[in-house]
Chain A
Amino acid sequence: MNPDTGTNSRPCADACGTMPACAPLAVPYVPFQQRGSQKYNQADALANGTVFPGLNLPFHMKADAAGLPDNHSTQLQALLFVVTELGLYLDTHRDDVEAFQLFKQYTTMAREAKQRYEEMHGPLTQLAAGQDEAYRWLDDPWPWEFKKGD
C-alpha cells in the first residue's frame, strides 16, 4: 500500500524482503576492454603508465613529468613495459591475433634491447652473469642507487 495515496500503484514496491523486480538498488559494471584499442608507442606507454590511451586516467593535479632520458636503460624499460602491458591484455584476450602479433614484435625488440644493455652495463640476471669472462653481478650500480653525475 502506498501511504500517500492509499493505492498499490507504486511500480517498484518492495515486498517480503525481496528485491523489487524492476529496480535493483545498484548494478556495478566494469566495461570489458574491447579489441582493436589504440596503443601508445613504447616511450609514451612508459611515460603514461599504460599502453592503452583508453585506460589512461591521469592523476588529479598531475605534475608534468620531466621527459625521460633516451638511453639503453629507458629504451629497455619502455619495451619491457609494453611486453608486460600487452601480456596482461592477452591474459584476458588470448584470441586477439592482432594483439598477439604486436606482442611478438615487442618481445623480439625487448630481447635485442636486453642484449645491447647487458653488453654495455653488465648482466641483468644470474643466467646472463654466467656468460661473462668474470663475475660482474656485484658491479655497481644496483637498481636503487645511481652514481653522481649519471
Chain B
Amino acid sequence: MFVYEKKLQYPVRIKNCNPKLASVIISQYGGPDGELGASLRYLSQRYAMPYPELKGLLTDIGTEELGHLEMVGTLVHQLTRNLSEDQIKTAGFDTYFVDHTTGVYPQFASGYPWSASTMQVTGDVIADLTEDLAADGAMA
C-alpha cells in the first residue's frame, strides 16, 4: 500500500525555463537507468528475496525512488512551462513537443519510450543485486 505525501523529498524551484536541458533530463525520468525503472526494479525484485534485510531494503529504496521520480518530473515540468514559440522550436525539444507538448512523458533522451526491457527480475538474489549495482551505479 502506498500513501501519498503532498511534498517533494528535496525542494525544486526553477525560475528560468530551459527546454534543451529538459530534453536531456527526461532520461532520468523514463530512460534506461532512470527513476521509473529503478523503482519498478526494486519493488518487483523484492518478492523473491528470502532475507528480511533485503525485503526491507528493496521496499524502502523502491519507495524512495518513487520520490526521486516525482522530483525529476518536477524538474522537467519547471524547465518547460511558459515556453515562448521560439523556445518550443529548440533543437532537441521540438521533437518531444510534437508528441507530448509540455506533458512529462517517461522516455529515453533519444525519444524511445520507457521500457521494462531495461531492467530484469530473475528471482535469483545475487543476479538481481548485481543488476541493481549496475543500474543504480550508473545514475543513483
Would you give the 0/1 interface string for B13-30, flagging 1 where the beta carbon is closer than 8 Å to chain A?
A: 100000000000000000
Question: CA separation between A66 and B35, bound complex, in Å?
Answer: 24
* Besides the known contacts A76-B7, A77-B7, 20 further A-B residue pairs in the complex with CB atoms under 8 A apart: A30-B133, A46-B10, A69-B11, A73-B7, A77-B11, A81-B9, A84-B9, A84-B60, A84-B64, A87-B60, A88-B61, A91-B57, A92-B57, A124-B7, A125-B4, A126-B3, A143-B6, A143-B74, A144-B73, A146-B13
Question: CA separation between A95 and B115, bound complex, in Å?
Answer: 39
Question: Is A12's beta carbon under 8 Å from chain B?
Answer: no
* A-B contact number at CB 8 A: 59
Chain A residues, Cβ within 8 Å of B78: 144
Is the interface on chain A under 10, 10 to 19, 20 to 34, or 35 or more residues? 20 to 34
Smallest CB-CB separation from B54: which chain A residue? A91
Within 8 A of B (CB), among A89-117: 91-92, 94
Q: Is B60 in contact with A124, judged by CB distance below 8 angstroms? A: no
Question: Is A61's beta carbon under 8 Å from chain B?
Answer: no
Instruction: Give residues in B with beta carbon < 8 Å to A.
Output: 3-13, 53, 56-57, 60-61, 64, 70, 73-74, 77-78, 133
Show 28 residue pairs from A and B whose CB-CB distance is below 8 angstroms, ordered by the A residue.
A68-B11, A69-B11, A73-B11, A76-B7, A77-B7, A77-B8, A77-B9, A80-B9, A81-B9, A81-B10, A84-B9, A87-B60, A91-B57, A92-B53, A92-B57, A94-B53, A122-B6, A125-B3, A125-B5, A126-B3, A126-B4, A137-B6, A143-B6, A143-B8, A144-B12, A144-B77, A144-B78, A150-B13
Chain A residues, Cβ within 8 Å of B74: 143-144
Instruction: Give residues in A with beta carbon < 8 Å to B.
Output: 30, 46, 68-69, 73-74, 76-77, 80-81, 84, 87-88, 91-92, 94, 122-127, 137, 142-144, 146, 150
